Amino acid sequence: MKIPKLSHTDSGNFFLIAGPCAIESREMALEIAEKLVAITGRLRIPFIFKGSYRKANRTKLNSFTGIGDLLALEILKEVGETFSVPTLTDFHESHEAAMAARYVDVLQIPAFLCRQTDMLTAAAQTGKVVNIKKGQFMLGDSMAFAVEKVKSVHPDAEIFLTDRGNSFGYGDLIVDYRNLPMMQAHGVPVVMDCTHSLQQPNQASGVTGGKPALIATIAKAAIAVGADGLFIETHPNPSVAKSDGANMLPLNELEGLLEKLVRIRKAIF
């Protein structure tokens, strides 16, 4: 499946990576995808559907991790084929890259693993688009080395970099918008993750918290700064989501936010 051009699109819009944190069921994934395709189609926003086939980085041992790797990957493949949209998933060990690549169009390197050479080169070897999340412990300038590792294996690889905030004390994150132009200087599209940047990880309860009321604030600022794309996790009912519900945007709030963001984009470009 051809990936839409990720910057300077015909519509002049940013692109959107959106979907649930984890694939919980076929019905849920198709429901979310159908609504996202309709919204982004109307607003002429290039769209990539995301969903994790497995959640490896959980606070508690008994936290939800997934419905089964192959089942979730098959659902992602069905979403892509049903709606003719590119799909994205993250992976957590280098040997899983080839497996995931058989089902999706974009492989994502989790933020905690963005320095792992084996992960980056394994993603590059698949020939898929690679989205590298900037580590919460890194400056945007340093992401040049992650790009270099992918390019060393696949010089023509399509790469984008995603900011998801920086660690700020214990159990909180803060967004430093200087990182967006810093990463654009590496010659790749840059995305702002508007939901994970509002996480409050490693809470004493063992459940990651968040500040979803500020998603619009993060998104508006990112577009004003010049982000090429946005990453937004969304769910019909975040309160019952099996993963990261505390920082996902309710699906029924996404269209109104995107309408505002399109107007901001037009005002500054």
**CATH code for the domain in which residue 50 is found:** 3.20.20.70
- Flag whether 205 is in a domain: yes
The average pLDDT across 177-186 equals 98
- Flag whether 73 is in a domain: yes
Confidence bin at 56 (pLDDT 50/70/90): confident
Q: pTM (2 decimals)?
A: 0.93
- Flag whether 1 is in a domain: no
* Domain residue limits at 232: 15-268
**pLDDT above 70 coverage of the chain, percent:** 90
- Flag whether 7 is in a domain: no
Q: Does an H or E element contain 231, and which? A: strand 229-235
Write down the number of H helices and E strands in the chain.
8, 13
pLDDT surpassing 80 at residue 65: no
| Phi, psi of 260, rounded to the nearest 5 degrees | -65, -40
Q: Which residues of 11-29 are buried (b: 16+ CB within 10 A; e: fewer)?
A: eebbbbbbbbbbbbeeebb
Instruction: State pLDDT tens for residues 213-252.
Output: 899 999 999 999 999 999 999 999 998 888 777 789 999 9
CA distances from 243 to 30, 45, 126, 186 (A): 18, 26, 28, 32
How far is it, in rounded angstroms, from Cα 97 to Cα 108? 10
- Flag whether 10 is in a domain: no
pLDDT surpassing 80 at residue 4: no
Q: Are 105 and 1 in contact (CB under 8 A)?
A: yes
190 C-beta neighbours (distance < 10 Å), count: 27
pLDDT of residue 212: 79
Q: How many domains does the chain have?
A: 1
- Flag whether 2 is in a domain: no
